[in-house]
Amino acid sequence: MAKKARTRTQTTQKLRRNSARIQRCASPNTTWLVTVSGHDVPGITAEVTGILARHNVVVLDLAQAVIQKLLSLSFLFQTSPTRHDEDQIFQEILERGSELGLKIDFKKIPVGAANTKVEKAVQHYAVTLIAEIVTAQSLHQVTQVLARRKLNIDVIKKLSEDHFGCLEILVSSAQGVDETSLRKELLEIAKSQCVDIALQAEGLYRRAKRLVVLDMDSTLIQGEVIDELARERGVFDQVAAITLRAMQGEMEFDESLRQRCLLLKGLKAEDLIRVYEKIEVTPGAQDLIRVLKRLGYKIALISGGFTFVAERLKERLGIDFVYANTLEVKNQTVTGRVLPPIVNAQRKADLLEVIAQQEKIVLDQVIAIGDGANDLLMLEKAGLGIAFNAKPVVRERADLAFSQKNMRSILYLLGLSARDVAQVVQENA
């Protein structure tokens, strides 16, 4: 009993000291910043806002964060120039905070400072870090770069659920940003720290994407279909040699495709089906498409691969549009011809634009995902081009280089949390 009495006496003395301090600081037209911290329980925000509401103050800003059940809640508010009861407002907040075991801090803001019109930042960006575990070292290096470039961190939030695997940092700049050099610097950190780092303009179009265009081979599916067909036919080495020449710039894609298809002459229709049945969809691809479709996105598959695989994936995964090359089959046998028009790099980019126009979607609302050099024009045309586990030349030129093995992680780039994704996946399970 004596201990409880001492505690009540200490609390009363503390409240009196704080009340006296408030009265000395209080004046008409005063703006206050109040911070509430302590163990989080339901109803704390309601308690504070209830006090503010009863006194009809003007709330200018607020922010709340909870980490491991520890709450930090801040209010910026202003009283009317004709009011003189700020001491009463704070007395009530302090008393209720004491009853709830909370720490209350308050700060008087200079007259006019909170209402001064702030010059709008020229640019806003979202920086997303994705890894198995985002390390303190990678976080330090990224924030160090942002500080050096005078980018102000406005919001930091964890998007992953059960581990520290994804962090989104929203930043702003009133001085302008050299995006190319900043992206290059972040890419160097990504390489050294084994973390994916995405830099995106933060605004309406980042949150209002409507069309996703996917490459097929080594993106939506694992491996290259033409390589598997070559193995089935026993001509893998010859096909690989032509592919290498094309990659080295010694041969145009169209010609290399014709020559490789010619080597496939004689394959039977059942061989094609057998190759399709061996195909593995990239981990997370089905969830990616499922979530995007639930959010109203259109999904397109534009591939330099073959229609006999692409059309089956369309039915299997619920894809809206499919464009790919047609390997001619007559009398249940591959003739070795690829039917025109060939889906090459330029046609991929053109088809992306055609689909966008058809669906009345502006290019800034389009995401393109691919891994090869023949995807570059498509990636550059889209509002957001993602190099997914791509070749070096593609990684360097795409908006974002992504090395995660699970395509589900791409949803983080749209600002979706793991909880958001899990909810949609469960709804469609």
Report the distance separating Cα 207 and Cα 73, nearest Å.
Answer: 27
Report the distance separating Cα 402 and Cα 375, nearest Å.
Answer: 14
Task: Give the per-residue pLDDT at 12.
Answer: 52
Angle at 127 between CA 126 and CA 128, to 5 degrees: 115
**Is residue 273 exposed (0-12), middle (13-18) or buried (19+ Cβ within 10 Å)?**
exposed
Active site residue 105: no
Distance of CA 291 to CAs 132, 160, 244, Å? 22, 16, 37
Q: How far is CA 384 from the centre of its chain?
A: 11
The CATH number of 2-109 is: 3.30.70.260
Amino acid at 420: D
Report the distance separating Cα 73 and Cα 96, nearest Å.
Answer: 14
Q: Are 183 and 142 in contact (CB under 8 A)?
A: no
Task: Give the per-residue pLDDT at 9.
Answer: 53
The region, left, alpha or beta by phi > 0 then psi within -120 to 50, assigned to residue 38 is left
Report the distance separating Cα 169 and Cα 415, nearest Å.
Answer: 10
Q: What is the mean pLDDT of each run of 10 residues along the chain (429 residues)?
A: 50 52 53 88 88 85 83 83 70 88 85 52 88 94 94 91 91 88 92 92 86 97 96 96 84 94 97 95 96 95 97 97 97 96 97 97 96 93 92 84 90 90 80
List 40, 196, 215, 254, catalytic entry: 215
Helix 236-247 vs helix 225-233: crossing angle, to nearest 10: 150
Helix (H, G, I), strand (E, B) or coil at 146: helix
Identify which of 71, 355, 345, 372 has the alpha carbon closest to the alpha carbon of residue 220. 372
DSSP 8-state assignment for residue 121: P
Report the distance separating Cα 420 and Cα 429, nearest Å.
Answer: 15
Identify which of 327, 336, 289 has the alpha carbon closest to the alpha carbon of residue 309. 327
Looking at domain 123-202, what is its CATH homologous superfamily? ACT domain (3.30.70.260)
Active site residue 196: no
Q: Are 120 and 157 in contact (CB under 8 A)?
A: no
Helix (H, G, I), strand (E, B) or coil at 390: coil
**Is residue 6 exposed (0-12), middle (13-18) or buried (19+ Cβ within 10 Å)?**
exposed
Q: Are 329 and 269 in contact (CB under 8 A)?
A: yes
Task: Give the per-residue pLDDT at 66.
Answer: 80
Task: Give the per-residue pLDDT at 250.
Answer: 85
List 217, 271, 287, 375, catalytic entry: 217
Residue 36, both tokens = 């509430």
Report the distance separating Cα 179 and Cα 154, nearest Å.
Answer: 18
Note whether 123-202 and 211-224+281-427 share their fold.
no
Domain range annotation of the chain: 2-109, 123-202, 211-224+281-427
Task: Give the per-residue pLDDT at 6.
Answer: 52
Q: How far is CA 345 from the centre of its chain?
A: 26
Q: Are 179 and 127 in contact (CB under 8 A)?
A: no
Report the distance separating Cα 55 and Cα 59, nearest Å.
Answer: 11
Identify which of 142, 145, 139, 146 has the alpha carbon closest to the alpha carbon of residue 123. 146
Which architecture characterizes domain 211-224+281-427 according to CATH? 3-Layer(aba) Sandwich (3.40)
Task: Give the per-residue pLDDT at 26.
Answer: 47
